[in-house]
Amino acid sequence: MRQTLIVFVIMMVTVVAWLNHRASDPEPADGTLSLGGLLGEAPANFETVTGPVAFEFPKDHAMHPDFRNEWWYFTGRLDAGDRPLGFQFTLFRFGLDTTPAPDDVEPSAWRTDHLWMGHLALSDGGLAGVSEPRFYQQERFARDGLALAGATESQWWLKDWTVTAVDDGWVLDLMGDGFGLSLTLTPTRPMTLQGDAGFSQKGPEPGNASHYYSHTRLSAEGEVFLDEGLSQPIAVEGQAWLDREWGSGQLSPTQSGWDWFAIHLDDGRDVMVYRLRNLDHTMSRFSKGVVVWPDGEKVSLDAEDFTLQPLRWWADDRGVEWPVAWRVEIPSQDIDLLVEPLFDDQRWDQSVAYWEGAIDVSRWPRHEGAPTPVGRGYLELSGYAERETPGHRASQTTPTQAP
């Protein structure tokens, strides 16, 4: 009973915080919370990101409580024989209030300054002619009081979901309802500092930015558990990606969402591009990208350096349409790709509405017959169920505009 009450209180705090900071926004089409809203304007008692800083490791693997929000974001593609899989695990922290308690208030183990949210998903592509694709997902909330959730230099956790640092990587132990995974992830190339030495500008206002670093290629090995037999793990191997960001008020009120691609190419290059969308559906000039070579060399990309063109839209059961197939062009890097989902229905159906799923990547143009595979990765689509009218297809071919 106590556990149920805690979860209920935390969810109510989240709703109140969202309403306070995004009261002028239209309600999301399906009544869920707005992740973009939680990344909007922050109270003045939080620090903001205004320029590059010198990162310190392993210190910066831990939480940054002076900033309003941050996340530890794993995605990856796995193989179990002929069965293609994808996984996502994200640990979000949202600061509630950094104002110290009055001197006459007695400290309490129940006091909390942070709300933690965990998202665990597994995309099962199935076996041809044997089983259909299936998207497993689970969301959990916790407070940092009583050490129910947190992030130190050596471990990140939410209840019994844990990511533990080892000498050369991380071990993920994540069991959901009816599915789970246990993976060892090992970096195979140097860390990438995104943007300007880890300073990633997202909008025109001061503080519309984050500190951002990535491990763009991690070897993955371990076991996956599916509901047909949780006691019989499935051995898997593959590649993963880790993104780490923290800040306060990253998004501008003029922005409605984003489209984010993380791709492992078979030639050894890693590609990340994201389009920030303005309210008028144009591409923000703050959209960015990066190409990382096997030796860790980084080629930074500005909005004018790449083109993202949606090719096919998938409608969910609420009538919201999501652009799940794309053409990705980066002329300076001789990259021209067709991106397609492992399967269409990889939409999050929890408190935050977004599409996050495994993708297959082939060479463009696609001629008749089977495409030529050149890579795999993950795609995230945000904001389509929130500010934009359900069913509206925002044009990607409209020009980049300020902001």
Q: How many CB atoms lie within 10 A of CB 40?
A: 22
Closest CA to 203 of 52, 40, 28: 40
Q: Which residues pair with 341 in a beta bridge?
A: 359
Would you state the structure tokens that stand for residue 240, as one six-digit string? 């993963």
Phi, psi of 220 (to 5 degrees): -125, 135
- What is the structure's pLDDT at 16? 35
Closest CA to 177 of 124, 222, 230: 230
As averages over each run of 10 residues, the pLDDT of the chain (403 residues) reads 36 37 35 52 79 96 94 97 96 78 55 87 88 94 89 97 96 95 97 96 90 98 83 92 93 89 98 95 95 96 98 96 98 97 96 95 82 95 72 48 51
Q: Degrees (nearest 5) of the Cα angle 230, 236, 237?
A: 155
Residue 390 resides in a domain: no
Residue 392 resides in a domain: no
Q: Which residue range is the domain that position 132 belongs to?
A: 2-104+111-382
- What is the structure's pLDDT at 5? 34
Give this prediction's pTM. 0.86
Closest CA to 292 of 218, 365, 342: 218
- What is the structure's pLDDT at 34? 53
Query: Checking DSSP bridges between strand 270-278 and strand 209-225, what pairing results, if any?
Result: unpaired
Residue 146 resides in a domain: yes
- What is the structure's pLDDT at 11? 42
Which helix (H) or strand (E) segment holds residue 89: the answer is: strand 83-95
Q: Which residues contact 84 (CB under 8 A, 6 or more apart)?
A: 77, 78, 125, 342, 358
Residue 244 resides in a domain: yes
- What is the structure's pLDDT at 62? 97
| Residue in the structure block whose two tokens are 């990162």 | 55
Helix %, strand %, coil % for the chain, to 5? 10, 50, 45
* Contact (CB, 8 A) for 355 and 348: yes
Q: Is 77 exposed, middle or buried (0-12, 13-18, 19+ CB in 10 A)?
A: buried
Phi, psi of 21 (to 5 degrees): -95, -15
Residue 401 resides in a domain: no
Peptide bond into 331 cis (omega under 30): no
* Contact (CB, 8 A) for 385 and 372: no
- What is the structure's pLDDT at 398? 43
Residue 19 resides in a domain: yes
Would you state the structure tokens that stand for residue 333, as one six-digit string? 């890097």
CATH number, domain of 332, equals 2.40.370.10
* Contact (CB, 8 A) for 299 and 315: no
Residue 394 resides in a domain: no
Q: How many CB atoms lie within 10 A of CB 6?
A: 18
Would you state the structure tokens that stand for residue 56, as one six-digit string? 């310190």
Would you state the structure tokens that stand for residue 377, as one six-digit string? 């990765």
User: What's the CA gap between 54 and 208, in Å, rounded?
Assistant: 19
- What is the structure's pLDDT at 106? 57
Q: Which residues contact 215 (CB under 8 A, 6 or more apart)?
A: 187, 191, 192, 241, 242
Residue 11 resides in a domain: yes
The number of domains in the chain is: 1
Would you state the structure tokens that stand for residue 376, as one six-digit string? 């795999």
